[in-house]
Every structure is written in structure tokens, then in C-alpha cells.
Structure 1
Amino acid sequence: MFSPRVYERLFVLHNEALWPLPLLALLLGTALLLALVFPRPGRVCATLGLLAIAWLFVAWAFLWQRYAPINWGIRYVVPLFALQALLLLALGLWRGGLELPARWQPPRVLGLALVAYAVFLHPLTALLYGRGLAGAEVVGLAPDPLAIATLGVAATVQPARRGWTLLAIPALWCLASAYTLHLLNAPGAWPPLLAVLIALAARLWPRD
């Protein structure tokens, strides 16, 4: 339906239209990571609320406004992004909400690594793919880094059943994105796929 150049151009136009919001998104992503590194009950609620807003914003500003016109299937994905936002809010507030472990066990390390990658490293992949930073995929503004960051949160939160619920939609998006990039022969197909594998490994890791 579209060429790799058309797909890459989406992010350039998206960032140009929203400038300087990409810089603010990076700051908010840093705040998200710090809230996970130093967890407190209030910070957990703020983290989930921030992610919920980001899922809604990406659904409207990127998927609906930019991606859907060149990929008709995306219009059916937008409701899933809205559902993920509702899940983040509902599971975070329902009967005690979600908790982040304070101990540095492997699941927490892996989850934080995914969030750190989504915030700081994933935007730099644009340089490897020849797009330049103008086409960087920024967490909170583009779907892949947002899904990867949410996988990181879902991989480490407690109780486990709610973590699995939060993991489903971001994992499906990452798999779909990896498949799309593979069909385009783009070099960036492996990060979202690897993120799903890491999140699953963290979620399945035995906890004390």
C-alpha cells in the first residue's frame, strides 16, 4: 500500500507539525523512567495516567490523522489504542491499583531497560535508518516507542494478572509493526519483536 520512503516520511511530517512537542515528550519520558526507578504509590498512578494520555494522543494524532490515510487497516487499530488507555486507567485504580516492585529483581531490570530504550535509544534508530533526527520516533508521539515503554511497565507491575492484561495490546502492536517493517524490507523490524520477547521473559520470570 505504501513504500518505505512514504512510511518514513510520516514521522518527519508528524514531528514537524508538533514541534516543539517532541522535546517535551522526551522530558516526560525521562520523568516516566524516574518514577519507575523510584516507585511511590502516587507516582505509579501518575505513570499510568501519563501512559493513558499518550495512547489516546498517538491514536488520534498519528494513527488516525497520518497513518490511516495510507493504510486502511489502521482505522481498526485505533479503538484498540483507546482500549489500552482505558485499561491503564481502570487497572491502575481498581481495588488497590498496581504496584511496582522496589527490589532489583530481573523482571524489574528488564522492564526498566525497555522503558529506557523506548525513551532514549529508539529515537536514535532514525539515524541508523537514514532518516535523521527529524524523523525520530519519540515516546508518547509515535506508536512503537510508546508500545515498547508500556511493555516495560507491564512486565514489572504487580499483581501479575493485571500485568498480563496491560501487556496484550502493546505486544500485538509491536508484532504487527515488526511484520510491516519486514514487508517493507526496512532495517528496523527487530527492535519491536525483541521488546515483546524481553517483556514476556520478564513477565514469566519467577518472583519471590
Structure 2
Amino acid sequence: MSEWWKYSLSDFLMFSSRSYYRLIESYNAAIWPAHFLALVAGVIVLGAIARPRQHLRRSAALVLAAAWGWVAWAYHLERYAEINTAAPYFAVAFAVHALLLCWLAYRPSNAAPAPQPLALGLSGLAILAYPLLALARDGGQWRQAEVFGIVPDPTVVATLGVLLAWRAPAIFWLVPVLWCLVSGATLMELKIGHAWLLPALALTAVVARVMGSKTPRDLNSTANPQS
């Protein structure tokens, strides 16, 4: 029996970067023009961060839940499973997180009293700028754009912004952060230039959440330790 530690992620990948982006291209073509609906959903999410009101918060959480559920079925199960045997497990994780987001919609709000620029920036990057990465790659084109609510990566990053803005408990962070690590590692093995982006954004969001959880007394005691 071969030693398992001799294997790397590349030994388990059954597809190339070309196959990966062809899948996204065919997926985009199959569901067009649903992307306009995804953009409207993204604006709702951004509005809930910019104006933290209970009804907006609930609407945004349900929008995110629908996005995660859609990605679980339409992307992971229906498309990604064709080239990645782990995709059904990803689908389960995304479906579970969709249920958690439904719970988040109706739990008592811990949203900050004012908009958080970093949270708004994370979600804005995912919803408005992430599709532009398709043009940054060699041979990339608009038909291969990764859009919030359509594919996993921008959907997860937008969710990180929401979780940060609403100071969500740790359980809501588990699947998004794990996905950022898995997807980042996959893109790295495929030698995609922006492979570092997802792990970096996840780390930024987690650090900001940890720092934001400290009370003014905690910060004061750290800055002025007792002798």
C-alpha cells in the first residue's frame, strides 16, 4: 500500500485549468440571463451592510441562503461533479450553510450600529469586481466570469463581508473559511494567478472579526498591561 503522505493535491485533481474555465463558461451560457438577477441580489446584500436595518438584514440573509443553495445544486452537483469527485461533498456543505443562513435571518441581530467599511469592501469586491478577474488571466474572457450567486468563490467572499458586518458567531464562519482554503489550494495547483486571493480575504475577515469582538476594556488592558 502506497504511503498516503507521498501524495499531493495535484494527484487528486482530475482536470486542468482549461477544463475548469470551460465548465464555468458553459455554465454561464446555460443559465444566462440569470446573472442580472444575481446582480440585483448582490445589491440587496450591499444595501443591508450599508444600512443595517432589521428588514434589510433579514432579506439579505435569505438572499445569501438562496445563493448558497443554488450553488450547491446548480454548480456543485450539476456541473462541478463532472470533473471533481469531491463536488457532491461540497454541495452538502453549501446546502448546510444555506440552512444556517436561514437561521441567521431570524436570530436576534448583532449588527454594528454603523456600516463597516471593511465588510462593505469585501462584499463589494465579490459582487462588483470579482467577475473582472476573468479578464486578468491569459486567454480569459467575459464568458468565463465568476459571478456572485452563480459560482462559489464570489458568493463565499460576499458572505464573509456580511458575517463580519453582523458579527456572526463562529459556526457561521466554518464553511466559508474552509471553502476559501480548499478553493485557494485548488487554484494554486491549477497555477491560476489569483489563487492567493481567497485565503487572503478569508484571513483578513477572520482577523477583523476577532479584533472586532474585543471590548474597549480588552483593548485598553492590552495596550496598558499592569505591572
What is the TM-score of this pair, normalised by structure 2? 0.84
State the distance in 2 between where 1:27 and 1:207 align. Answer: 36
The correspondence of residues 39-58 of structure 1 with structure 2, limited to 5 A, is 39-58=52-71
Q: Which protein shows a greater Rg? A: 2
2:92 to 72, 79, 102: 79
1:180 to 165, 175, 186: 186
1:167 maps to: 173
1:140 maps to: 149
CA-CA distance at 1:192 after TM superposition: 0.6
What one-letter code is carried by the residue in structure 2 that aligns with 1:30? Answer: V
Q: Is the 8 A contact 2:70 2:150 kept in 1?
A: yes
State the distance in 2 between where 1:171 and 1:51 align. Answer: 16
2:219 maps to: none
What one-letter code is carried by the residue in structure 2 that aligns with 1:169? Answer: V
Listed one character per residue, the Cα deviations across residues 131-188 of structure 1 (whole Å, up to 9, x for unaligned) are: 2111110000010000111111112214xxx432211101101110000001111112
Higher relative contact order (CA 8 A, sep 6+): 1
The correspondence of residues 51-130 of structure 1 with structure 2, limited to 5 A, is 51-94=64-107, 96=108, 98-104=109-115, 108-129=116-137, 130=139
What SS class does the counterpart of residue 78 from structure 2 fall into? helix
Q: Is the 8 A contact 1:155 1:167 kept in 2?
A: no
1:15 maps to: 28
CA-CA distance at 1:91 after TM superposition: 3.0
State the distance in 1 between where 2:206 and 2:178 align. Answer: 12
Larger helix fraction of residues: 1
Pair 1:78–1:101, CA change in 2 (3 A): same
Aligned-pair identity (%): 38
Q: Is the 8 A contact 2:59 2:105 kept in 1?
A: no
**CA RMSD across the alignment:** 1.4
What is the TM-score of this pair, normalised by structure 1? 0.91
State the distance in 2 between where 1:144 and 1:201 align. Answer: 19
CA-CA distance at 1:207 after TM superposition: 5.0
After TM superposition, the runs of 4+ consecutive aligned structure 1 residues lying more than 3 A away are: none
User: Unaligned stretches of 5+ in structure 2?
Assistant: 1-13, 217-227
User: Unaligned stretches of 5+ in structure 1?
Assistant: none
1:156 maps to: 165
Q: Is the 8 A contact 1:154 1:164 kept in 2?
A: no
Listed one character per residue, the Cα deviations across residues 109-139 of structure 1 (whole Å, up to 9, x for unaligned) are: 2211110000011110000013211111000
